[in-house]
Structure 1
Amino acid sequence: MEFHSKENGFVGQFAYGELHVSGDEQYGFRPFQLLVSSIAVCSGGVLRKVLEKMRMPCTDMKVTAEVERNEEQANRIEKIHLHFVVIGEALEEEKVRKAVDLARKNCPMAQSVEGSIVLTESFEIVSRSA
Protein backbone atom coordinates (compact mmCIF):
# COMPACT_ATOMS: atom_id res chain seq x y z
CA MET A 1 0.00 0.00 0.00
CA GLU A 2 1.11 3.51 -0.70
CA PHE A 3 -0.36 6.79 0.49
CA HIS A 4 0.45 10.29 -0.75
CA SER A 5 0.01 13.38 1.34
CA LYS A 6 -2.49 16.04 0.41
CA GLU A 7 -3.31 19.30 2.14
CA ASN A 8 -5.56 17.77 4.81
CA GLY A 9 -4.56 14.12 4.96
CA PHE A 10 -3.50 11.29 2.68
CA VAL A 11 -4.88 9.47 -0.34
CA GLY A 12 -4.25 5.91 -1.45
CA GLN A 13 -5.01 4.37 -4.84
CA PHE A 14 -6.56 0.90 -4.84
CA ALA A 15 -8.18 -1.35 -7.43
CA TYR A 16 -11.62 -0.29 -6.18
CA GLY A 17 -10.79 3.42 -6.11
CA GLU A 18 -9.31 6.18 -4.01
CA LEU A 19 -9.19 6.10 -0.24
CA HIS A 20 -8.99 9.50 1.44
CA VAL A 21 -7.81 9.44 5.05
CA SER A 22 -7.71 12.45 7.35
CA GLY A 23 -7.97 13.34 11.00
CA ASP A 24 -10.76 15.72 9.90
CA GLU A 25 -13.74 13.83 8.50
CA GLN A 26 -14.51 16.73 6.13
CA TYR A 27 -11.55 15.52 4.06
CA GLY A 28 -11.63 11.76 4.40
CA PHE A 29 -12.23 8.77 6.62
CA ARG A 30 -10.71 9.10 10.06
CA PRO A 31 -8.12 6.43 10.91
CA PHE A 32 -10.15 5.08 13.87
CA GLN A 33 -13.19 4.69 11.60
CA LEU A 34 -11.15 2.56 9.23
CA LEU A 35 -9.79 0.40 12.03
CA VAL A 36 -13.22 -0.22 13.56
CA SER A 37 -14.77 -0.75 10.11
CA SER A 38 -12.18 -3.35 9.18
CA ILE A 39 -12.85 -5.31 12.38
CA ALA A 40 -16.66 -5.06 12.06
CA VAL A 41 -16.83 -5.97 8.39
CA CYS A 42 -14.21 -8.72 8.60
CA SER A 43 -16.04 -10.25 11.57
CA GLY A 44 -19.37 -10.04 9.75
CA GLY A 45 -17.95 -11.65 6.62
CA VAL A 46 -16.38 -14.50 8.58
CA LEU A 47 -19.64 -14.95 10.53
CA ARG A 48 -21.58 -15.22 7.26
CA LYS A 49 -19.18 -17.92 5.99
CA VAL A 50 -19.33 -19.85 9.27
CA LEU A 51 -23.14 -19.79 9.21
CA GLU A 52 -23.12 -21.07 5.62
CA LYS A 53 -20.81 -23.93 6.59
CA MET A 54 -23.18 -24.76 9.46
CA ARG A 55 -25.98 -24.93 6.86
CA MET A 56 -27.68 -21.88 8.37
CA PRO A 57 -27.17 -19.19 5.75
CA CYS A 58 -28.44 -15.75 6.62
CA THR A 59 -30.37 -13.70 4.11
CA ASP A 60 -29.04 -10.43 5.51
CA MET A 61 -26.90 -9.09 8.32
CA LYS A 62 -26.31 -5.77 10.03
CA VAL A 63 -23.30 -5.00 12.22
CA THR A 64 -23.15 -2.05 14.57
CA ALA A 65 -20.01 -1.05 16.44
CA GLU A 66 -19.77 0.87 19.69
CA VAL A 67 -16.33 2.29 20.37
CA GLU A 68 -14.78 3.39 23.65
CA ARG A 69 -11.71 5.62 23.40
CA ASN A 70 -9.31 6.89 26.06
CA GLU A 71 -8.72 10.63 25.66
CA GLU A 72 -5.91 10.55 28.23
CA GLN A 73 -3.89 8.09 26.13
CA ALA A 74 -3.80 9.70 22.68
CA ASN A 75 -7.51 8.89 22.24
CA ARG A 76 -6.61 5.22 21.74
CA ILE A 77 -9.36 2.69 21.13
CA GLU A 78 -9.83 0.66 24.30
CA LYS A 79 -13.02 -1.29 23.59
CA ILE A 80 -15.14 -2.25 20.60
CA HIS A 81 -18.50 -3.92 20.98
CA LEU A 82 -19.94 -5.51 17.84
CA HIS A 83 -23.65 -6.27 17.65
CA PHE A 84 -24.77 -8.57 14.85
CA VAL A 85 -28.36 -8.61 13.64
CA VAL A 86 -28.56 -11.92 11.79
CA ILE A 87 -31.55 -12.21 9.49
CA GLY A 88 -32.66 -15.53 8.08
CA GLU A 89 -34.80 -18.59 8.32
CA ALA A 90 -34.38 -21.45 10.83
CA LEU A 91 -31.48 -19.83 12.68
CA GLU A 92 -30.85 -21.57 16.00
CA GLU A 93 -29.65 -19.36 18.86
CA GLU A 94 -27.04 -21.75 20.26
CA LYS A 95 -25.55 -22.41 16.82
CA VAL A 96 -25.42 -18.69 16.04
CA ARG A 97 -23.67 -18.13 19.39
CA LYS A 98 -21.06 -20.74 18.43
CA ALA A 99 -20.72 -19.17 14.97
CA VAL A 100 -20.06 -15.74 16.53
CA ASP A 101 -17.31 -17.27 18.71
CA LEU A 102 -15.78 -19.03 15.68
CA ALA A 103 -15.94 -15.84 13.64
CA ARG A 104 -13.92 -13.99 16.26
CA LYS A 105 -11.28 -16.73 16.36
CA ASN A 106 -11.01 -16.76 12.56
CA CYS A 107 -11.22 -13.05 11.74
CA PRO A 108 -7.73 -11.78 10.91
CA MET A 109 -8.60 -8.20 11.90
CA ALA A 110 -10.04 -9.21 15.29
CA GLN A 111 -7.02 -11.40 15.95
CA SER A 112 -4.68 -8.55 15.00
CA VAL A 113 -5.92 -6.42 17.90
CA GLU A 114 -6.23 -9.29 20.40
CA GLY A 115 -4.62 -8.23 23.66
CA SER A 116 -4.66 -4.52 22.71
CA ILE A 117 -8.36 -3.75 22.35
CA VAL A 118 -11.18 -5.39 24.32
CA LEU A 119 -13.51 -6.85 21.72
CA THR A 120 -16.98 -8.07 22.70
CA GLU A 121 -19.88 -9.32 20.63
CA SER A 122 -23.61 -9.76 20.94
CA PHE A 123 -26.23 -10.82 18.44
CA GLU A 124 -29.91 -11.02 17.77
CA ILE A 125 -31.78 -13.18 15.32
CA VAL A 126 -34.53 -11.86 13.09
CA SER A 127 -36.56 -14.62 11.43
CA ARG A 128 -37.34 -13.90 7.82
CA SER A 129 -37.74 -16.11 4.79
CA ALA A 130 -35.35 -15.75 1.87
Structure 2
Amino acid sequence: MEFEMQEQGFSTEMEYGTLQVCSDETYGYRPYQLLVSSVAVCSGGVLRKIMEKRRQTVHDIQIQTEVTRSGEGADEIQSIHLHFIVKADNINETKMEKNIEWTRKHCSMVQSVKDSIDISETFEIQTG
Protein backbone atom coordinates (compact mmCIF):
# COMPACT_ATOMS: atom_id res chain seq x y z
CA MET A 1 0.00 0.00 0.00
CA GLU A 2 1.06 3.54 -0.64
CA PHE A 3 -0.27 6.44 1.42
CA GLU A 4 -0.34 10.07 0.33
CA MET A 5 -0.48 13.02 2.68
CA GLN A 6 -3.68 15.06 2.43
CA GLU A 7 -4.58 18.35 4.07
CA GLN A 8 -6.12 16.26 6.84
CA GLY A 9 -4.44 12.87 7.37
CA PHE A 10 -3.46 10.37 4.70
CA SER A 11 -5.22 8.42 1.97
CA THR A 12 -4.65 5.36 -0.17
CA GLU A 13 -6.49 3.93 -3.14
CA MET A 14 -7.86 0.45 -2.55
CA GLU A 15 -9.77 -1.95 -4.77
CA TYR A 16 -13.06 -0.78 -3.24
CA GLY A 17 -12.29 2.94 -3.11
CA THR A 18 -10.28 5.51 -1.24
CA LEU A 19 -9.32 4.85 2.36
CA GLN A 20 -8.99 8.07 4.36
CA VAL A 21 -7.08 7.85 7.66
CA CYS A 22 -6.84 10.73 10.10
CA SER A 23 -6.58 11.27 13.85
CA ASP A 24 -9.72 13.46 13.49
CA GLU A 25 -12.60 11.15 12.55
CA THR A 26 -14.31 14.06 10.80
CA TYR A 27 -11.88 13.43 7.91
CA GLY A 28 -11.45 9.66 7.95
CA TYR A 29 -11.03 6.51 9.98
CA ARG A 30 -8.91 6.87 13.08
CA PRO A 31 -5.91 4.52 13.19
CA TYR A 32 -7.14 2.78 16.35
CA GLN A 33 -10.52 2.11 14.70
CA LEU A 34 -8.76 0.35 11.84
CA LEU A 35 -6.59 -1.70 14.20
CA VAL A 36 -9.60 -2.83 16.28
CA SER A 37 -11.60 -3.51 13.10
CA SER A 38 -8.75 -5.62 11.73
CA VAL A 39 -8.59 -7.76 14.86
CA ALA A 40 -12.38 -8.15 15.07
CA VAL A 41 -13.06 -8.89 11.40
CA CYS A 42 -10.07 -11.21 11.01
CA SER A 43 -11.29 -13.15 14.04
CA GLY A 44 -14.85 -13.25 12.72
CA GLY A 45 -13.73 -14.49 9.31
CA VAL A 46 -11.51 -17.20 10.78
CA LEU A 47 -14.29 -18.25 13.17
CA ARG A 48 -16.72 -18.60 10.27
CA LYS A 49 -14.28 -20.73 8.25
CA ILE A 50 -13.56 -22.98 11.24
CA MET A 51 -17.26 -23.47 11.93
CA GLU A 52 -18.00 -24.26 8.29
CA LYS A 53 -15.15 -26.82 8.19
CA ARG A 54 -16.61 -28.41 11.33
CA ARG A 55 -20.01 -28.64 9.57
CA GLN A 56 -21.61 -26.09 11.87
CA THR A 57 -24.09 -24.13 9.75
CA VAL A 58 -23.43 -20.44 10.38
CA HIS A 59 -26.39 -18.10 9.89
CA ASP A 60 -24.92 -14.97 11.45
CA ILE A 61 -21.97 -13.70 13.47
CA GLN A 62 -22.04 -10.34 15.19
CA ILE A 63 -18.98 -9.00 16.97
CA GLN A 64 -19.11 -6.45 19.76
CA THR A 65 -15.82 -4.87 20.84
CA GLU A 66 -14.69 -3.25 24.04
CA VAL A 67 -11.39 -1.37 23.87
CA THR A 68 -9.26 -0.18 26.77
CA ARG A 69 -6.72 2.56 26.09
CA SER A 70 -4.05 3.85 28.46
CA GLY A 71 -5.35 7.43 28.58
CA GLU A 72 -1.76 8.66 28.88
CA GLY A 73 1.06 9.53 26.50
CA ALA A 74 0.33 7.94 23.14
CA ASP A 75 -2.99 6.58 24.54
CA GLU A 76 -2.08 3.12 23.26
CA ILE A 77 -4.57 0.27 23.08
CA GLN A 78 -4.07 -1.99 26.09
CA SER A 79 -6.82 -4.52 25.51
CA ILE A 80 -9.48 -5.56 23.03
CA HIS A 81 -12.38 -7.71 24.13
CA LEU A 82 -14.33 -9.47 21.38
CA HIS A 83 -17.84 -10.72 22.14
CA PHE A 84 -19.18 -13.02 19.43
CA ILE A 85 -22.93 -13.48 19.05
CA VAL A 86 -23.22 -16.57 16.88
CA LYS A 87 -26.39 -17.87 15.27
CA ALA A 88 -25.68 -21.39 14.04
CA ASP A 89 -26.84 -25.00 13.87
CA ASN A 90 -24.98 -28.05 15.24
CA ILE A 91 -23.23 -26.02 17.95
CA ASN A 92 -22.91 -26.16 21.74
CA GLU A 93 -20.76 -24.50 24.41
CA THR A 94 -17.95 -27.07 24.16
CA LYS A 95 -17.74 -26.85 20.37
CA MET A 96 -17.83 -23.07 20.53
CA GLU A 97 -15.01 -22.93 23.09
CA LYS A 98 -12.86 -25.02 20.73
CA ASN A 99 -13.86 -22.80 17.79
CA ILE A 100 -12.73 -19.71 19.71
CA GLU A 101 -9.45 -21.39 20.72
CA TRP A 102 -8.67 -22.24 17.09
CA THR A 103 -9.77 -18.78 15.94
CA ARG A 104 -7.28 -17.13 18.28
CA LYS A 105 -4.51 -19.44 17.06
CA HIS A 106 -5.21 -18.88 13.35
CA CYS A 107 -6.15 -15.19 13.16
CA SER A 108 -3.12 -13.36 11.77
CA MET A 109 -4.16 -10.03 13.30
CA VAL A 110 -4.53 -11.50 16.81
CA GLN A 111 -1.21 -13.27 16.45
CA SER A 112 0.41 -10.01 15.28
CA VAL A 113 -0.61 -8.01 18.37
CA LYS A 114 -0.94 -10.67 21.10
CA ASP A 115 2.35 -9.74 22.80
CA SER A 116 1.45 -6.06 23.10
CA ILE A 117 -2.36 -5.97 23.36
CA ASP A 118 -4.41 -8.23 25.63
CA ILE A 119 -7.04 -9.94 23.45
CA SER A 120 -9.97 -11.71 25.12
CA GLU A 121 -13.07 -13.38 23.73
CA THR A 122 -16.51 -14.37 24.93
CA PHE A 123 -19.50 -15.69 23.02
CA GLU A 124 -23.21 -16.34 23.06
CA ILE A 125 -24.92 -18.94 20.96
CA GLN A 126 -28.26 -18.42 19.26
CA THR A 127 -29.77 -21.42 17.52
CA GLY A 128 -30.54 -21.10 13.82
User: What TM-score does the superposition give when structure 1 sets the normalisation length?
Assistant: 0.96
1:16 CA drift (Å)? 1.3
Amino acid at match of 1:36: V
- Alpha-carbon RMSD across the aligned residues, in angstroms, is 0.8
1:12 is matched with 12
Cα distance in structure 2, aligned partners of 1:3 and 1:33: 17
1:127 is matched with 127
1:76 CA drift (Å)? 0.1
Cα distance in structure 1, aligned partners of 2:81 and 2:57: 23
Name the count of aligned residue pairs: 128
3-state DSSP of counterpart to 1:102: helix
1:112 is matched with 112
Cα distance in structure 2, aligned partners of 1:72 and 1:18: 31
Cα distance in structure 1, aligned partners of 2:117 and 2:88: 31
Cα distance in structure 2, aligned partners of 1:54 and 1:88: 12
Specify every segment of 5 or more residues in structure 1 that has no aligned partner in the other structure, as ranges.
none
Cα distance in structure 2, aligned partners of 1:19 and 1:124: 33
Cα distance in structure 1, aligned partners of 2:54 and 2:8: 46
**Identity among equivalent pairs (%):** 50
Q: Residue by residue, what CA displacement relative to the aligned partner does 1:32-73 show, whole Å, maximum 9, x if unpaired?
A: 000000000000000000011111121111001100000224
Task: Give every structure 1 segment of 4 or more consecutive aligned residues whose post-TM-superposition deviation is greater than 3 Å.
Answer: none
3-state DSSP of counterpart to 2:64: strand
